[in-house]
Structure 1
Amino acid sequence: MLTAQAPTSADQRLLATVAADLPGRRWFPVKGASADLTVHAVVPLVDPRRAADVRVLLVAARTGTGTGTGTAGSGGATSLLQVPLVVVTGDEEAGAPLGDGRTVLDGAAHPAFLRAWLAAAEGPGGAPAAVDLAHVHAITGEQSNSSVVLGAPGDPGRAILKVVRTLHHGENPDVEVPRALVEHGYTGVPAPLAWLRATWPDATTGEVAAGYLGVAAAFVSGARDGFELACELAGTGTPFAAHAHALGEVTARMHAALARAFPTVTDPDGPERLARALLDRYAWARAATSAVEPYHAGVVRAADEVRALRATPARQRVHGDLHLGQVLHGADGWLVLDFEGEPLAPLEARTRPDLAVRDVAGLLRSFDYAAAVGGATGDAAQRWVTAAREALLAGYAQASPPSSVDPADAALLTRALELDKTLYEAVYEARNRPSWLPIPLAGLDRLAG
């Protein structure tokens, strides 16, 4: 585990050189407000070949509006961001000149940073994974983090490195969960190959914090992104039901494995707790966007129905943000990725035991997105979505262990958690992709209209 160091004036100068570019990055967490950026600490990484200067800045992004995702501070919020940079001698078109004959470059996909990262990383046997850095490819569609594919097509040792952009103290579920699942014999996740951890002073309290900076996992060659596949099929009117049924089965087996790998919790106050959480979600969403205001009565009605339940299933570790963009479809079926949970939620909320059906609700919501983004419209879109939903639920039920939960109660729980997820989506789209806001609003019409 590395120990972050105090920044120097040279580090602050590097940040000043790239600061204007950061808010435009998809992973930058402060949306709709300006943020004050300072270098809080620097993680020491060294390129073994000494070909460039690698600087991993831990940047404190402070906003006075509370818009950022981080620790509440005086009058706002603070997010701690990882910004890897590489400084080279000479001019490079892709970088920012420092004015002294050197250029600063984004480090996430730079060979010097990658060599330094792997040299410092840990692995399952105590040593980092051996991967080919002669070929690297940055994934441009990443949102809350930055991912880089390492190795050439066809290379059996190919890997994918995820650079965590917003740092949190504690275990990172996107590393902890796959490691635990693989250790318990589950094969439905890409195997973690290496990870990098560090300590740093907390940006608000000054106490020592520790967490993951990134993880490298096995790359699944020839696999299709689940959302891209669903959009393509929806757009051409091709049924997704068989894929959805198989995905339901994989999700059920994942939940069974998670229940073996992590503790489960019986919750005698489950109905009341879930009802309050749904109302709290609505209040949070209403504070973020007025678009959800017309659905107040429907949310209250759903909360009252949940409150009337006799019990809820035991809570367990879950994925937390499962949707079609978090799964890959390959020759051997579906694989599940990205266990970090909802990006806007604090770490503690993303790792606590929850109802397994929350993941099912996330997948159900994803079908609406696939149909809309894929270009399906009208009755054809509705038939496509309905068939996919029914198949997913059938596959999940078929592969799940016997349950004492009444089917009607299970359906109510699924609908309540789907409503909760749709409220979250409305906030996310209002903040990040306003043109997509009609997708969750259509879901709210169905669930709470």
Structure 2
Amino acid sequence: MSLIARTSPDDARLLEVLRGWLPTRRWFPAKGASTDLSAVGSFALADDVTVLLVRVRAGSIDVVLQVPLVLVDGADDEAIGVLDGRSVLDGAGHPAYLRAWLAAADGPGADVDVDAARVVTGEQSNTSVILPGARPGILKVLRAVAAGENPDVDVPRHLVAVGWQHVPAPLAWLQGQWPGPDGSLVTGYLGVLASFVDAAEDGFELACAYAARGESFAAAATDLGAITASMHVALVSAYGVDASDQGPQEVARAVAGRFSWALSAVPSLARFADGVADVVAQVRSLPTAPPRQRVHGDLHLGQVLRSHDTWFIMDFEGEPLAPLEQRTRPDLALRDLAGLLRSVDYAAAVGGLTGADAAAWTADARDGLLRGYGGGDQTLLRALELDKTLYEAVYESRNRPTWLPIPIAGLERLTR
């Protein structure tokens, strides 16, 4: 089923109720900026359940947010505000919303208890709700909605269809239609319910704990490398490969461009210029590069779960605010491996390792990942890891300056 958004005078009135609340949400995309908010339309899932679509514009940001709401009679301590004497509640984890969502969704379905639902805290860009039951699931409410296929729904469905079992299987999904920028209807996903991975440990937290104990992560890393390689094989089976000619020269240009961008933001990176130039030259000298294919696109230890001694890979959405075309573009499979390798450095640092101890632990874990993955051009891999590390240096300098030494240490290793 694809819901169709309708416009109602209540949409603008609901937006006024939400106007002060929205910027306080972790998933609001324009914190601290002057924003223009407008109501796009709404889905009436039930008499007391409305999903309001809000367009947010601030500088280069122009996104449509999905805001599930439940309206109840009388006062409520959890209310965002009041409309016509009814309390307006955040609906994402409310049983009334969950019940209506499941009734409207497509897919094989799940046997869950909506009254026992629990919202996952700490998420930045979406809202996830754990639904216990005989066949438990976790519902991801996509906050920034976009026209077209959402990779976090589409990719797991394709992987399961070709028999790959290391992804939480989609159980239900819901699509909607709403007015696009030119007024014509566009179609996109509103959310997906995936099977719940029980007894799961977050991959990054697990690696940090290993590092804190000084315990080798190599065996677990080898398993993860092998499963990552099998994911890439499954993605080729599901989507094929890109036949266009995009060889080493494009990778070299991208790394050189990334360095120029990073240098303008962090001038102290100038000391790495010769080392970056050497890596770029080595890539340019390669005769060929592997064909591009569908990839995860944002793979790191925080995107994997360890359960019953096996790994599950999740969160195929990529950067939610990036254009859909960019998030689904074929790329080099080694970019996913590079992301995991960078994540190992972060796990060592967050786990408290420094100096020679950090170097030994990360080298051991990195060797495990590479051994499990089973190869790949080391020149290309180094370039892709360098590209990621330059991005990290800019990010940390702007957001977490005390973490800047982590990518700086990576740059020192990759450019020597």
Task: Check conservation: 2:5, 2:177, Cα contact below 8 A.
Answer: no
Once the two structures are superposed, the pairs formed by residues 55-66 of structure 1 within 5 Å of their partners are 55-64=50-59, 66=60
Find 1:347's aligned residue among 324, 327, 344.
324
Query: Match for residue 90 of structure 1?
Result: 74
Deviation at 1:290, TM superposition (A): 5.7
Q: Separation in 1 of the partners of 2:78 and 2:388?
A: 39
TM-score by length of 2: 0.92
Partner of 1:45: 45
1:252 aligned onto 2:229:
yes
What's 2:94 paired with?
110
After TM superposition, give the deviation of residue 429 of structure 1 in Å. Answer: 4.1
Displacement after TM superposition at 1:92 (Å):
2.2
Q: 1:352 to 1:232 in 2, by over 3 A?
A: same
Larger mean CA deviation between 244-253 and 346-355 belongs to: 346-355
Equivalent residues of 1:2, 1:44 under 8 A apart? no
2:290 to 303, 306, 313: 313
Asked if the contact 1:4–1:41 (Cα under 8 Å) also holds between the matched residues in 2, the reply is no
Unaligned runs of 5+ residues in structure 1 are 69-77, 401-406
Shift of residue 10, structure 1, vs aligned partner: 2.3
CA distance in 1, matches of 2:399, 2:262: 14
Q: Could you state the TM-score of these two structures normalised by the residue count of structure 1?
A: 0.86
Secondary structure at the counterpart of residue 414 of structure 1: helix
| Residue identity matched to 2:170 | P
- Match of 2:130, SS state, is strand
Structure 1 residues 295 and 144: CA distance shift in structure 2, 3 A: farther
State the match for 2:201 in structure 1.
224
Q: List alignment gaps of at least 5 residues for structure 2.
A: none
Deviating more after overlay: 298-307 vs 176-185: 298-307
Q: What pairs up with 1:353-368 in 2 under 5 angstroms? A: 353-368=330-345
Q: Return closer, same or farther for 1:253/1:346 CA change in 2, 3 Å cut-off.
A: same
Q: 1:106 to 1:282 in 2, by over 3 A?
A: farther
1:377 equivalent to 2:361? Answer no
Shift of 1:378: 2.4
Query: What is the identity, as a one-letter code, of the residue corresponding to 1:16?
Result: E
SS at 2:163 equivalent: coil
The equivalent of 2:16 in structure 1 is: 16
| Partner SS, residue 335 of structure 1 | strand
CA 1:411 to 1:243, structure 2 compared with 1: closer, same or farther past 3 Å?
Answer: same
Name 1:158's counterpart in structure 2.
136
CA apart distance, 1:101: 3.3
CA distance in 2, matches of 1:33, 1:295: 34
2:259 & 2:73 partners in 1: Cα distance? 53
Distance in 2, matches of 1:209 and 1:261, equals: 26
Question: In the alignment, what sits opposite 1:180?
Answer: 158
**What amino acid maps onto 1:277 in structure 2?**
A
Partner SS, residue 242 of structure 1: helix
| Residue-by-residue CA offset, 1:146-190 (whole Å, 9 max, x unaligned) | 111001xxx441100011111121111111111011111111111
**2:7, 2:26 → 1: CA distance?**
25
- Going from structure 1 to structure 2, the CA distance change for 1:367 and 1:328 (only over 3 Å counts) comes to same
Distance in 2, matches of 1:88 and 1:432, equals: 40
CA distance in 2: counterparts of 1:287 and 1:4, whole angstroms: 45
Q: Which amino acid aligns with 1:392?
A: L
SS state of the match for residue 319, structure 1? Answer: coil
Deviations 1:243-268 (A, max 9, x none): 10110011111111111111112454
Which runs of structure 2 are paired with 1:281-296 in the superposition (5 Å)? 281-285=258-262, 295-296=272-273
The alpha carbon displacement at 1:358 in A equals: 0.6
Q: Which whole-Å CA distance do the structure 1 matches of 2:409 and 2:75 have between them?
A: 50
Secondary structure of the structure 2 residue equivalent to 1:98: strand
The alignment-based identity, stated in percent, is 56
How many Å apart are 1:235 and its aligned residue?
1.4
Deviation at 1:373, TM superposition (A): 1.9
Question: What is the CA distance between 1:442 and its match in structure 2?
Answer: 3.3
Question: Does the aligned pair in 2 maintain the 1:122–1:195 contact within 8 Å?
Answer: yes
| Corresponding residue for residue 192 of structure 1 | 170
1:5 aligns to what? 5
Contact preservation (8 Å) 2:392, 2:407: yes
- Name the amino acid aligned to 1:328: L
User: Structure 2 CA distance, aligned partners of 1:445 and 1:120?
Assistant: 53
Q: Residues 437 and 91 (structure 1 numbering): CA distance in 2 closer, same or farther, change over 3 Å?
A: farther
Q: CA deviation at 1:340?
A: 1.1
8 Å CA contact 1:268, 1:311 repeated in 2: no
Tell me which of 359, 363, 382 is aligned to 1:386.
Answer: 363
In structure 2, what is the equivalent of residue 29 of structure 1?
29
Deviation at 1:39, TM superposition (A): 1.4
The residue matched to 2:145 in structure 1 has which SS? coil
SS in 2 for 1:423: helix
Q: What is the one-letter code of the residue matched to 1:130?
A: D
The secondary structure found in structure 1 opposite 2:198 is: coil
- Alignment of 1:131 with 2:104, yes or no, is no
User: Does structure 2 retain, via aligned residues, the 8 Å contact 1:266–1:313?
Assistant: no
Contact 2:150–2:317 at 8 Å: present in 1 too? yes
The answer on 1:208 being equivalent to 2:185 is yes
Check the 8 A contact 1:129/1:193 in 2, yes or no: yes
1:392–1:37: structure 2 CA closer, same or farther, 3 Å change rule? same
Contact persistence 1:175–1:192 (CA under 8 A): yes
1:45-77 CA-partner distances (Å, limit 9, x unpaired) = 12xxx5xx212111111012x2x3xxxxxxxxx
The match for 2:373 is 396
* Aligned 8 A contact 1:2 1:198 in 2: yes
Cα deviation, residue 30, structure 1: 2.4
Question: Counterpart of 1:91 in 2: which secondary structure?
Answer: coil
